[in-house]
Structure 1
């Protein structure tokens, strides 16, 4: 097993910290007393809608418990979550239904 050189590791960590701070400062520090343009505010509303599926999709398509093999319980639970969110328009209801569906399907399918 190879190890990462400590200099490279800390260079990457510090670089990511500076980049992360810079992105946050650009919006919070520089734009704090200014009104953002309407077109930018309209686009920023969809940030969470774009990021959450990007985080969840790999966990559904290639779940870790099955060593990356797509499993029927995970896909069905994702569909239940999607349907519950679509019809209820409530994130908490969708999460509760999806969690319950996943637990139930994993119990049924083993």
Structure 2
């Protein structure tokens, strides 16, 4: 690719991401949103986060894409601790601790 093509892609991507953000912040930011839309937007993190985390647990790049029992166990512990305690930090530390211990024990 030529330098011009690369810079064109960078500029167009920047403009595109600006317009996406501006559509929410600049155009809608000062307006009251309908209740049904606010109710639906509450589910966005719950829908996006598993989509980001699940591939890293099931097909982790660190193992060449093969399922790893340590990562599955850490994810399960994180889910259980998070559900039982309703505490994000407790769930994160429990999952990280489980992953650390199992990676060192199983290695």
Q: Tell me the TM-score normalised to structure 1 length.
A: 0.87
**How much does 1:82 deviate?**
0.8
SS, match of residue 68 in structure 1: coil
Cα offsets for 1:5-33 (capped at 9, x unmatched): 44443333323222211111111101122
Count of paired positions: 107
Query: For 1:88-107, what aligned pairs fall within 5 Å after superposition?
Result: 88-107=85-104
- Which has the higher mean CA deviation after the structures are superposed, 39-48 or 15-24? 15-24
State yes or no: 1:80 paired with 2:77. yes
Larger helix percent: 2
Q: CA RMSD in A?
A: 1.4
Write the distance in 1 (CA, Å) between the matches of 2:18 and 2:79: 34
Query: For 1:5-24, what aligned pairs fall within 5 Å after superposition?
Result: 5-24=2-21
Q: Which runs of 5+ in 2 are unaligned?
A: none
Q: Which runs of 5+ in 1 are unaligned?
A: none
SS, match of residue 27 in structure 2: coil
Q: Tell me the TM-score normalised to structure 2 length.
A: 0.90
State yes or no: 1:46 paired with 2:43. yes
Cα offsets for 1:54-82 (capped at 9, x unmatched): 11111111112211111110111111111
The match for 1:68 is 65
